[in-house]
């Protein structure tokens, strides 16, 4: 069966069986144009994927790649710890790669991990539409999306970010805020889009009584939060939002710094709520309210799904695991404001 499939790929791609074998085993020695034709043929003959994976499995390393958006964000460190705790039980090593929110850098990491013949890859994609991940799967490398839901072509573990944004918005509205800002990173990042959709839904449910100001920074970092915080703080008091929902805790910390720089009090002048509930949130100068995600559980669950697929590829069925977020209220948003 495997030989016949490889021959069919070769015929469709108009190359030799040996070239197909090189593309699958040593893609770096094949020209990009030829690789593209072979990959296109593999995609059209979707049944090739599992046979290739079974044929190559014995030659794979005991290594799993983990590609994250920002290695400086403690959220991803906790995810990595969860994945590593399970990997260690299976005599497997996790290699952590930082895409830094750059699609080109993400692809280079994926290329390098594939060339190293890793068992599989855990990845938080930079962008929602990423055909390169599907090509990886077609060539026999299992992929599990982390902190990002899939469409069914891969396993995934994520938190209901729309619900998280809705909870944050409802909390601020219940506290009496009528002008609310959303501080996010690039909207091409699915987590940002979903969290914004969640708070927008909460604002819409208020029936026009609440205004939502949407602000975007180049990155979901402390610096990004500070940029948006400076912009908000510079507004006249009558136009300035009285509360801000930040797309993650790193941005919330930067936003908090900007408020302090401009002499604005939190939560008296402006309430803040973040997302992730990293350890720094509770330890901030003004303890930050946050939407909590089960960070280590995300990592543990993701690698469980990956190892299951590696062990039994023919019986494996892709699953999309969705966890529910929780609201943690601290001083930064605890005060009730008169509408």
DSSP tag of 336: -
Weakest-pLDDT range from 39-43, 72-76, 121-125: 39-43
- Where on the phi/psi map is residue 152: left (φ > 0), alpha (ψ -120 to 50), or beta? left
Q: What is the rounded average pLDDT of the residues 241-250?
A: 97
Burial class from Cβ neighbours inside 10 Å (0-12, 13-18, 19+) for residue 283 reads exposed
Proportion of the chain above pLDDT 70, given as a percent = 93
Residue with tokens 């290329």: 111
The confidence band for 40, taking pLDDT boundaries of 50, 70 and 90, is confident
Query: Does the pLDDT at position 55 exceed 80?
Result: no
Is beta strand 320-323 parallel, antiparallel or unpaired with respect to 155-159? Answer: parallel
Write down the pLDDT at residue 11: 86
Interstrand relation of 143-146 and 155-159 (parallel, antiparallel or unpaired)? parallel
Residue 277's pLDDT is: 96
Instruction: Give the per-residue SS3 of 272-334.
Output: EEEEECCHHHHHCCCCCEEEECCHHHHHHHHHHHHHHHHHCCCCCCCCEEEECCEEECCHHHH
Q: What is the DSSP string of 93-139?
A: EEEEEE-TT-HHHHHHHHHHHHHTT-SEEEE--SSS--HHHHHHHHT
- Range with the poorest average pLDDT among 11-20, 31-40, 68-77, 211-220: 11-20
The packing angle between helices 17-25 and 48-56, to 10°, is 70
CA separation for the pair 12, 325 (Å, rounded): 47
Sign of the dihedral through C-alpha 141, 82, 78, 160: positive
Terminal Cα-to-Cα distance of the chain (whole angstroms): 70
Whole-number Å distance between alpha carbons of 121 and 102: 17
Separation CA 176–CA 79 (nearest Å):
35
How far is Cα 77 from Cα 276, in angstroms, rounded to an integer? Answer: 12
Flag whether pLDDT at 4 surpasses 70.
no
CA gap 52, 45 in Å, rounded: 12
C-beta neighbour count of 176 within 10 angstroms: 14
Q: Which of 2-11, 12-21, 45-54, 174-183 has the highest mean pLDDT?
A: 174-183
pLDDT at position 242, please?
Answer: 97
What is the average pLDDT across 187-194? 92
Q: What's the rounded mean pLDDT across residues 282-306? A: 95
In angstroms, rounded to a whole number, what is the distance separating the alpha carbons of residues 259 and 270?
8
* Phi, psi angles (nearest 5°) of residue 322: -115, 125
Residue 126, both tokens: 């930079």
| Mean pLDDT score, 34-58 | 64
């Amino acid at each position: 069966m495997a030989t016949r499939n490889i021959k069919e790929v070769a015929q469709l791609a108009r190359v030799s069986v040996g070239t197909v074998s090189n593309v699958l085993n040593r893609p770096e020695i094949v020209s990009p144009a030829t690789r593209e034709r072979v990959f296109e043929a593999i995609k059209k003959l979707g049944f090739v994927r599992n046979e290739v994976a079974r044929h190559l499995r014995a030659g794979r390393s005991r290594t799993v790649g983990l590609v994250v958006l920002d290695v400086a964000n403690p959220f991803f460190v906790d995810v990595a710890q969860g994945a590593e705790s399970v990997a260690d039980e299976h005599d497997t090593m996790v290699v952590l790669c930082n895409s830094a929110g750059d699609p080109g850098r993400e692809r280079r990491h994926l290329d390098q991990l594939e060339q190293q013949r890793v068992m599989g890859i855990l990845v938080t994609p930079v962008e929602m539409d990423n055909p390169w991940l599907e090509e990886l799967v077609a060539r026999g490398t299992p992929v599990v999306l982390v902190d990002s839901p899939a469409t069914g072509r891969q396993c995934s573990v994520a938190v209901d970010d729309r619900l998280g944004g809705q909870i944050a918005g409802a909390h601020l509205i219940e506290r009496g805020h009528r002008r609310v800002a959303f501080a996010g990173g690039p909207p091409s990042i699915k987590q940002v889009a979903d969290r914004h959709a969640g708070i927008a839904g909460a604002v819409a449910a208020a029936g026009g009584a609440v205004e939502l100001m949407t602000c975007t920074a180049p990155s979901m970092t402390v610096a990004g939060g500070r940029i948006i915080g400076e912009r908000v703080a510079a507004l006249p008091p009558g136009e300035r939002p009285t509360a801000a929902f930040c797309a993650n805790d790193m941005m919330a910390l930067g936003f908090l710094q900007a408020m302090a720089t401009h002499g604005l009090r939190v939560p008296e002048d402006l309430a803040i709520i973040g997302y992730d509930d990293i350890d720094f949130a509770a330890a901030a100068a003004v303890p930050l309210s946050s939407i909590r995600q089960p960070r280590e559980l995300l990592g543990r669950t993701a690698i469980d799904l990956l190892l299951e697929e590696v062990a039994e590829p023919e019986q494996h069925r892709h699953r999309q695991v969705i966890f529910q977020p929780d609201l943690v209220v601290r001083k930064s948003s605890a005060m009730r404001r008169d509408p």
